[in-house]
Structure 1
């Protein structure tokens, strides 16, 4: 596994979309809808996840002329990727919680 990605809000949204059903196969527009993000935002994230081994991908086996649409590229979390995604989201949530607690403590102390 490669270095974990920076846990930006879009990255977290994509991971949450996959973790809703970790064995589900999704194609780009499904991921966009589930994460609430544009295609131009999710595809670089998907490429990073694929590069570090968190996702696997493949093109569906159809004839684009018969289907009257381009082939779809499907993505799915790898078993290791699902575990790493859960841990990364938990850490990101913990980090945000610590910052919020620190802000509350600082604000109440009058600093």
Structure 2
């Protein structure tokens, strides 16, 4: 979750596709998508469906941080003195 928060906090107002987040973070799809769902349920992300740019492609979910997600990302960023492996996963 920390990698995902950090990647999204770089541009918190931008909508991001899961595939782009996989490339940016190195998190596998089997881990990333359940994490995106969980973070959305917790109010850290908002998600919506977007119609494809290219005809014939399916709609895709996009995600961005909510105000609560931005706040959490900033607070974790301020606590970086603690090693990532010891931080609490939500």
TM-score normalised by L of structure 2:
0.79
- Checking the alignment, whether the CA contact within 8 Å between 1:58 and 1:73 is kept in structure 2 is yes
Unmatched tracts of structure 1, length 5 or more: 1-10, 100-111
- Which whole-Å CA distance do the structure 2 matches of 1:69 and 1:55 have between them? 24
Higher RCO, 1 vs 2 (CA within 8 Å, ≥6 residues apart): 2
- Checking the alignment, whether the CA contact within 8 Å between 2:51 and 2:58 is kept in structure 1 is no
Show the counterpart of 1:75: 63
Question: Displaced runs of 4+ in structure 1, greater than 6 A?
Answer: none
CA-atom RMSD in angstroms: 2.3
Give the paired residue count: 85
- Assess, with a 3 A threshold, how the Cα gap between structure 1 residues 60 and 14 changes in structure 2: closer, same or farther: same
- Which whole-Å CA distance do the structure 1 matches of 2:28 and 2:69 have between them? 23
Larger radius of gyration: 1
Deviations 1:2-49 (A, max 9, x none): xxxxxxxxx111111101111110011011111122111111111121
Deviations 1:59-92 (A, max 9, x none): 01359xx72222110001012211112213433x
Unmatched tracts of structure 2, length 5 or more: none
TM-score normalised by L of structure 1:
0.66
- Which whole-Å CA distance do the structure 1 matches of 2:74 and 2:32 have between them? 18
Select the structure that is richer in helix: 1
